[in-house]
Structure 1
Amino acid sequence: MTASDIEQKILQTLDEMNIPYERFEHPPVATVKEAEQYSDLHPGAHCKNLFLRDKPGRLHYLVVMRVETEVNLTNLARHFKSGRLSFASNERLYRYLGVQPGAVSPFGLIFDTDHVVRVLLDASIFNEETAGFHPNVNTATLVVTVKDLLRFLDNTGNPYQILDFNQKDFS
């Protein structure tokens, strides 16, 4: 599948779920720092996404948070009693979310048909009406309402939790 095909599949899925979105095109960005150059392009929460796995590689987490939020992976692992957490390999990233590094987003969950990935949402996202995410390509951002993000997650069937990463337990 080409990057264009992957984005089209995500847009089609959002249309089928009756989830409206606004699409903002920008130059390719591989890091949060690069993406922030274009932060004035769209409203709402600007988010970053971390794809993590536990040490044995049995548990996978997609951590979704605002770009300014920091999370301590050791403390997060303690919270879930999952041993050490680390970034998943590029191969796992593609296998579970259909995405290459630099374009990770919750929209990739449509490729996780076995619902292996657990989603951890930072509560601060809910301080905004909308949030922006890549459509699995790093040349665009899709903005959806936070309410529709939850509806999207409900439709994918992946388990998710809302956590306050600003609490002492996670920082």
Structure 2
Amino acid sequence: MLPALSYTSLEEFEDDYIEALVEEAADVASEHVWWNQPFSLSADKRNPNLLSGLTKLMHRYIEDSTGEARKVEYRDDVLMGAVDTLTLFEMLAFLSKEHEFTWQVFIPIEPRPKPVGRIIEGEIEPKLFELIMPEIDALEITEKELNDTKLHQTLRETHFPQR
């Protein structure tokens, strides 16, 4: 499972349109309870006419209130990371379709991010789903578990009782 994904628009936008899309993304992202980090957009640092963002999907370790790091159950982390990945793809697809543009999705690695697929005017390339399917299959995570919001809430409460 991927610890994070980044994404950049391939089309350029005017400043006021960038601002409107950033706000729209924040509204859309607020509709989901994120496992690690929410979907968010900003003007790209290298080209401010592009939109970009990065979403951390997994935790691996969580620091408790005493500052002690504890390991997150791997299956829980993968399940919740997959839920967020699918939600992220849906949100990127929504904006892409609504505003008729393309996203390039990357794995954020050094020295430069690795492109792994695109979302073109709302259509998600199938190879993006292939990023998460091997781990989902290996851990025998079911579609029911991916869609079970009560289970997701229980896992959040288990791993983040202070929230």
Structure-2-length-normalised TM-score = 0.26
Between structures 1 and 2, the one with greater helix share: 2
Between structures 1 and 2, the one with greater strand share: 1
Higher relative contact order (CA 8 A, sep 6+): 1
Larger Rg: 2
